[in-house]
Amino acid sequence: MDELILNLKREIIEVLNLEEVKPEEIEDDAPLFGEGLGLDSIDALELIVLMEKNYGIKLSDPAQGRELFKSIRVMATYIRDNRKK
Amino acid sequence: MQEEIFVTGAGVISAIGLGRQATLAALREGRDGIAPVRYLKTSRVEFPVGEVKFSNEEMCRLLGVPEAGVTTRTSLMGMIAAREALEQARLPGDGGERVALISGTTVGGMDKSEQYYLDFLENDSRNEYISAHDCGACTEMIADYFGLFSMVETISTACSSAANAIMTGALLLRAGRADVVVAGGSECITKFHLNGFNTLMILDREPCRPFDAGRAGLNLGEGAAYLVLESGASARRRGVVPLCRLSGYANASDAFHQTASSPGGDGAYLSMTGALATAGLAPGEIGYINAHGTGTVNNDLSEGLAIQRVFGERVPPVSSTKAFTGHATSAAGGVEAVISILALRHGFIPPNLRFSTPMPELSFAPAAGGSAAPRHVLSNSFGFGGNDTSLIFSKTD
Amino acid sequence: MGLVIRKYSYINDRVASVDGRAIPVPAGEEKFLTALYRARRVDYPRFFKMDALSKLGFLASELIFEGDASRFTPRDHVAILCFNRSSSLESDAAYQATIRHGEEYFPSPSLFVYTLPNIVTAEIAIRNRLHGETAFYVLERFDPRALVGRVGEAFQDAATRAVLVAWVESFRDSREVFMMLVEKNDTIFDLPFSVESIVELLNRGRNG
């Protein structure tokens, strides 16, 4: 799980071009949206692409994304339980 | 008092037909053009679209241009619509006028690029199809077909492109940089933006339901439409009878987000109030609003709230004709300008199709259609990038 | 009352200047535009998500507005008009590459957004809270007369008191932005907004 969380942080930083953020600066339980990383709706859509591309998880409803992207830990837990690659 | 701008010609092609007459008939009979994909070669068949019901070959024959050429679908539709507008305005006339073409397009020749794509990031060959991709090139193709224009410009502001072309046309005339302006836009459906809108998760898998509480996104459409604009003096000299006036126009920036509209519709509020100010009209004088009304959750709420801010308790009949045509993106503002002019001249309100449940956030419900006699019609076109434009068309008498 | 150039900036792949003064940018491993961003101490992480066209326009506007105390107050009297030749072709190609292959078919929403050239005007408007007119024109070639004509027209409405106008091009080997803040003024000490000024200042920018 820890490895998945770290990988996920690296992937998010890369795909969302978070140039000035380091993996250790993203807290496992902090919200991804709203405060903190300054992510917006396009970033959420890009995370949906990431879920499919890297883990074979297809989300068809942006509202589902909002639930999953509450924190890195929520996201990683969902990936662990549902990944297809 | 600034010089008045008159509309002396209008041409249109969209999912609901080729030409003003077919468009008018479809609007009055409530016949939409949303259907499963038929002409676009794509695997994304789950999304209904508002395609123009002609193949490129058929359009080539209609225009008498070679079928094997590099002419893009965007250009072919543009030529058909511009031809109708020019014929109505009796152009080319016996000469002397400086005629400008201002055309809105964003995806431009992407249909040909998709067909003949060479990776121009890795490979340096830039063949004729790839150069047709350039959105300026599509306008040049339309211009070359007529060989009439002393000035050609392409405006690219996403889904407000054609409306901005029309506004730019009025500015050009008022600045004396042209005598007559043909302004509007053209855009075909491409896999490129069908996929793009899909990644934004704003495409409805059913025919769209603008301003309905259950709305679930837009249907992509395509088409082209142009207006001929000129001064009263020019119209009199050329002996043409104006269809109406372009009395108001304004563009404003939402300055909120790259694609989403602000919660209160700040840009939309500024473009509508700005257009009313240029026209010298009070909100109560508007008899019909042809809304941008894409059918997305975000647009219709933001636009609806902005309409309420401008019109208060007395919101005039509002409808989105994108339920008929689909969202013709860069061409939408042109197609809807022609629809607004048809409503003005023929005294009716185009219905907001497929509406059943009012949005709880709004005080008004969209119009069911029927006869009316609007003297002034306001048409909204909003583009990604928060580029919001409102146009007002007014009766001449 | 004529139109004057209040401030202007120029950036390409090697040099940057504002009002004709070169901006020192330390050479390093980072790309020039990123190095320029850091050299000016801009704190706006969204910069890193932009395509090259938007980065150019954004940085040119930073050079013009940096130090302006009133810059983040919402204003609806400043218009932003951009012009170029290649539209968003560079981002179009990058996005197209994400939808080419059947097996690697993952269209990117963030790349798609930048296939709209006018997003550069949005980035500047969002950053500076500018609610005036915005537009993007694609010309066959660089034509200072088109800029002068269109800016003059933007001043026709009652609302517009300043226009940020730019030639901003990013395709292959031609990457540059030349931006001017144009205002109404009548003092003879100001730089007139004219075809001659544009050509001269652009050449000066290019020559570093």
Return the domain boundaries, chain B: 5-238, 245-394
Q: What is the mean pLDDT of residues C90-109?
A: 83
- Considering the four listed CATH numbers 3.40.50.880, 3.40.47.10, 1.10.600.10, 3.30.70.20, the one that applies to the domain covering B245-394 is 3.40.47.10
Is B133 noted as a catalytic residue in this protein? no
Hey, what are B107's tokens? 């995806």
- 3-state helix, strand, coil split of chain B in percent (to 5) is 35, 20, 45
In this predicted model, what pLDDT tens digit does every residue of B344-393 receive, in sequence order? Answer: 999 999 999 999 999 999 999 999 999 999 999 999 999 999 999 999 99
Told to judge if B327 belongs to the known catalytic residues of this protein, a careful annotator would answer: yes
**What is the complex's ipTM, to 2 decimals?**
0.95
Question: What number does CATH give the domain B5-238?
Answer: 3.40.47.10
**Per the CB < 8 Å rule, is C153 touching B172?**
yes
Mutate to test the interface with B, among C3, C44, C96, C103 (most CBs of B within 10 A): C96
Are B5-238 and B245-394 in the same CATH fold? yes
Phi, psi for residue B285 in degrees, rounded to 5: -85, -10
Exactly one of B133, B193, B292, B376 is catalytic; which is it?
A: B292
The structure tokens listed for B332 are: 């939408």
pLDDT tier at B126, thresholds 50, 70, 90 = very low
Yes or no: say if B193 and B331 are a contact pair by the CB < 8 Å rule: no
- Cα separation, B50 vs B35, in Å, equals 6
Pick the CATH number of C2-206 from 3.40.50.300, 3.40.47.10, 3.20.20.370, 3.90.1150.10: 3.40.47.10
Amino acid identity at B152: V
Q: What is the pTM of this model?
A: 0.95
Contact B199 A49 (CB under 8 A): yes
Looking at B60, B138, B159, B208, which residue is catalytic?
B159
CA distance A51 to chain B (A): 13
Task: Give me chain B's average pLDDT, please.
Answer: 93
Q: Is A85 on the interface with C (CB under 8 A)?
A: no
Task: Give residue A33's pLDDT band: very low, low, confident or very high (50, 70, 90).
Answer: confident
Domain ranges of chain C: 2-206
pLDDT level of residue B329 (50, 70, 90 thresholds): very high
- Beta-sheet pairing, B387-394 with B376-383: antiparallel
Asked if C126's CB is within 8 angstroms of B386's CB, the reply is: yes
Q: How confident is the model at residue B128 (pLDDT cuts 50, 70, 90)?
A: very low
- The per-residue pLDDT for range C48-81, each reduced to its tens digit, is 999 999 999 999 999 999 999 889 999 999 999 9
Q: What is the CATH number of the domain that holds A62?
A: 1.10.1200.10
Number of domains in chain A: 1
Whether residue A43 and residue C45 make contact (CB cut-off 8 A), yes or no, is: no
B260: nearest CB among A41, A49, A61:
A41
When CB atoms are compared, the residue of C46, C48, C109 closest to A49 is C109
Give all chains having 3 or more CB-to-CB distances under 8 Å with chain A.
B, C
Distance from CA of C176 to the nearest CA of B (A): 19
Report the chain A residue with the minimal C-alpha distance to residue C51: A17
Give the pairing type, strands C21-22 and B151-155. unpaired
Q: Find chain C residues with C-beta within 8 A of A42's C-beta.
A: 109-110, 113
Which of the four pLDDT bands, split at 50, 70 and 90, describes residue A60?
Answer: confident
Q: Cβ distance A80 to A13 under 8 Å?
A: no
Domain hosting A51: range is 2-82
In sequence order, the β-bridge partners of residue B253 are B387
